[in-house]
């Protein structure tokens, strides 16, 4: 609010509007005819910025951002029209409109301006697709909202959204303190005990019954036996033409994979989630 209130008064005095005009002297900046009657006084449009409350309670939250957006756009238009000498296109000039639009966008990207909401700069984007290009990266701050079941009343979804912190590109996530701020709430997670959810998958291992475990051990043993039999055939008939054409060294690698998979299946027979993965790998690898 300090920057907002420090601006010059554009309201005028008690009897007349502010009489400032544009650079060409053609139009008033802070007064305008409102009923096409020259006999009536102009309608004033200025503001006495110092009259606003220090807390900003009498100022809509979007006003400072709208105010800065107008100034930033004005700076970019000045750069394109005056410095680059590009004329604004007419509505039917598609090519010229695209050229002017691209130049205006680039001018906005290059803006570094200190406004009411702080320093304003825009992102050049990241990666080959320039993700986030044009997003404000300096001077922006967001409230972080959380759905709180205790505040959810009468099926009013907006009542359940409470502030739990803030985020900005420099400090990133900052959790607020409910002891210092009465409008701040503790983060409520969707877990049963309100613990912080894990980023890792929730694997659950369970034991198999004795019959199913015995069946898996049998399959593992059979796979190992088949692998040993294949070893024997490769060694015993290594001079045969069909063996020589089948890339025997690659066959050794494949059969070894099948043998190791079968052996691991036997060892981990009581961990079905691991057994399923191992057997899937082993059978696919072996049947190549």
pLDDT the model gives residue 282 = 52
Are 226 and 278 within one domain? yes
Is residue 204 domain-resident?
no
Are 133 and 145 within one domain? no
Residue-range definition of the domain harbouring residue 162: 141-196
pTM assigned to the model:
0.51
- Give exposure, 83-119, as e/b (b: 16+ Cβ within 10 Å): eeebeeeeeeeeeeeeebeebbeebbeebeeebbbbe
Say if CB 240 and CB 246 are below 8 A apart.
Answer: no
Is residue 124 domain-resident?
yes
Task: Domain count for the chain, please give it.
Answer: 3
Are 17 and 109 within one domain? yes
Pairing of strands 142-147, 43-44: unpaired
Are 152 and 44 within one domain? no
207 contact partners, CB below 8 Å, separation of at least 6 = 213, 270
Is residue 149 domain-resident?
yes
Last-in-domain residue among 196, 219, 237: 196
231 contact partners, CB below 8 Å, separation of at least 6 = 252, 255
Are 270 and 158 within one domain? no
Using the 8-state DSSP alphabet, how is residue 197 labeled?
A: P
CA dihedral 68, 74, 77, 83 (to 10 degrees): -110
Is residue 90 domain-resident?
yes
Order the strands of the 172-175 sheet from edge to edge: 142-147, 161-168, 172-175
**Rounded to an integer, what is the distance from CA 25 to the centroid of its chain?**
46
Are 98 and 218 within one domain? no
Are 130 and 149 within one domain? no
Are 124 and 175 within one domain? no
Are 104 and 166 within one domain? no
Q: What is the pLDDT along the chain (288 residues), one digit of tens a residue?
A: 788 888 888 888 767 888 899 888 888 888 888 888 888 888 888 888 888 888 778 888 888 889 899 999 999 999 999 898 888 776 666 777 888 888 999 999 999 888 888 888 888 888 787 888 888 888 778 889 998 877 776 655 567 888 899 888 778 888 887 677 777 888 888 888 888 888 777 666 666 677 877 887 888 888 888 888 888 888 888 788 887 887 878 888 877 877 777 777 676 665 554 544 555 555 555 554
Are 72 and 121 within one domain? yes
């Amino acid at each position: 609010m300090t920057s907002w209130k420090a601006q010059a008064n554009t309201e005028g005095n008690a009897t007349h509007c502010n009489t400032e005009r544009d650079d060409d002297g053609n139009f008033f900046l802070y007064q305008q005819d409102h009923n096409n009657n020259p006999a009536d006084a102009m309608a004033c449009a200025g503001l006495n910025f110092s009259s606003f409350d220090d807390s900003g309670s009498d100022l809509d939250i979007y006003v400072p951002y709208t105010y800065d957006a107008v100034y930033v756009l004005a700076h970019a238009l000045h750069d394109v029209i005056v410095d680059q000498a590009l004329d604004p296109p007419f509505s039917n000039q598609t090519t010229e409109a695209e050229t002017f639009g691209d130049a205006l966008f680039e001018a906005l990207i290059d803006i570094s301006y200190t406004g009411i909401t702080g320093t304003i700069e825009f992102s050049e984007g990241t990666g080959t697709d320039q993700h986030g290009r044009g997003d404000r990266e300096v001077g922006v701050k967001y409230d972080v909202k959380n759905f709180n079941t205790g505040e959810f009343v009468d099926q009013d979804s907006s009542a359940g959204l409470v502030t739990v912190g803030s985020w900005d590109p420099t400090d990133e996530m900052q959790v607020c303190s409910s002891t210092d701020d009465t409008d701040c709430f503790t983060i409520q997670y969707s877990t049963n005990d309100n613990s912080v959810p894990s980023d890792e998958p929730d694997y659950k291992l369970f034991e198999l019954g004795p019959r199913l475990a015995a069946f898996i051990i049998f399959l593992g043993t059979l796979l190992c036996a088949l692998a040993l039999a294949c070893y024997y055939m490769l060694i015993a008939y290594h001079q045969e033409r069909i063996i020589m054409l089948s890339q025997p060294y690659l066959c050794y690698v494949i059969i070894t994979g099948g043998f190791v998979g079968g052996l691991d299946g036997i060892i981990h027979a009581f961990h079905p989630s691991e057994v399923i993965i191992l057997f899937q790998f082993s059978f696919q690898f072996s049947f190549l």
